[in-house]
């Protein structure tokens, strides 16, 4: 059974390295691509909600603590507005190394079970087992399970990539420390026919 909330198997290694933008909002298309169009904390996907204004650019080290990292790509995360709001201006364990498949088990009833202390801390800090979130997760797990059994086209729509993949090769950041990452962008992979239908 496909669990739509399975965390990544490995710690995240940044694919892109745009630099030099004066405002952090300019990093948005890079971050969407970097984090596969879903919230790094709760894995809610862009395609599951209304269209605009649902995702924030989170400063991992909050801007009030380290203003110099406000436009440092390595400090920026793609987050739903709910997780971003709960986190607020706090330091939390790094989701890119802590929220991993194996460290966090996703139960069919929607509850997240932490297998490490860091994961437990982060789940608590972000309130990821809040009853509303557990119910939301359980709902999507059930819907995906039904689609998997009965409706392959619906499954593709539920677990497919958004239609508006950003073409990062057309962007002109003042600098890019990882230009080699452009060929791995989702848009480029789709152009080459290499992007899977679901993820």
Residue found by looking up tokens 């995240």 in the block:
12
Contact residue for Zn ion among 16, 24, 31, 39 (CB under 5 A): 39
Q: Say if strands 104-106 and 18-19 run parallel, antiparallel, or are unpaired.
A: unpaired
Residue 126 Cβ vs Zn ion, minimum distance, rounded to whole Å: 8
Contact call for residue 41 and Zn ion (CB under 5 A): yes
Please give the residues from 49 up to 108 whose contact with Zn ion meets the rule CB under 5 A: 80, 83
Comparing CB distances to Zn ion, the nearer of 77 and 155 is: 77
Q: Three-class SS of residue 176?
A: strand
Comparing CB distances to Zn ion, the nearer of 77 and 83 is: 83
In 71-85, which positions are buried (b, 16+ CB within 10 angstroms) versus exposed (e)? Answer: bebebbbbbbebbbe
Query: For residue 32, which of 190, 143, 185, 172 has the smallest C-alpha distance?
Result: 185
Query: For residue 125, which of 192, 169, 62 has the smallest C-alpha distance?
Result: 62
Residue 92 Cβ vs Zn ion, minimum distance, rounded to whole Å: 13
Comparing CB distances to Zn ion, the nearer of 106 and 188 is: 106
Residue 128 Cβ vs Zn ion, minimum distance, rounded to whole Å: 8
d(CA 16, CA 14): 6
Comparing CB distances to Zn ion, the nearer of 7 and 41 is: 41
Comparing CB distances to Zn ion, the nearer of 28 and 190 is: 28
Contact call for residue 140 and Zn ion (CB under 5 A): no
Stretch that binds Zn ion, among 13-21, 36-44, 53-61, 111-119 (CB under 5 A): 36-44
Residue 35 Cβ vs Zn ion, minimum distance, rounded to whole Å: 11
Q: Is 78:58 a contact under the CB 8 Å cutoff?
A: yes
Taking each helix axis from N to C end, the angle separating 131-150 and 152-159, rounded to the nearest 10 degrees, works out to 140
Residue 91 Cβ vs Zn ion, minimum distance, rounded to whole Å: 18
Question: Interface with Zn ion by CB under 5 A: which residues?
Answer: 39, 41-42, 80, 83
């Amino acid at each position: 059974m496909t669990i739509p909330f399975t965390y990544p198997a490995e710690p995240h290694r940044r694919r892109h390295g745009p630099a030099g933008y004066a405002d952090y909002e300019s990093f948005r298309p890079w971050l969407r691509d970097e984090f596969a169009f879903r919230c790094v904390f709760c894995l809610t996907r862009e395609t599951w909600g209304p269209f605009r204004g649902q995702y924030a650019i989170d400063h991992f080290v909050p801007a009030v603590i380290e203003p110099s990292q406000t436009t440092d790509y390595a400090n920026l995360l793609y987050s739903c507005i709910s997780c971003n709001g709960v986190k607020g201006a706090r330091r939390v364990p790094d989701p890119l190394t802590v929220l991993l498949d194996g460290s966090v088990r996703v139960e069919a009833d929607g509850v997240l079970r932490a297998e490490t202390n860091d994961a437990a801390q982060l789940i608590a800090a972000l309130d990821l087992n809040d009853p509303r979130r557990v119910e939301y997760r359980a709902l999507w797990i059930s819907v995906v399970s039904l689609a998997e059994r009965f409706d392959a086209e619906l499954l593709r729509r539920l677990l497919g990539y958004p239609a508006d993949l950003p073409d990062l090769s057309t962007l002109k950041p003042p600098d890019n420390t990882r230009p080699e990452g452009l060929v791995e962008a989702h848009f480029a992979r789709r152009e080459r026919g290499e992007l899977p239908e679901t993820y």
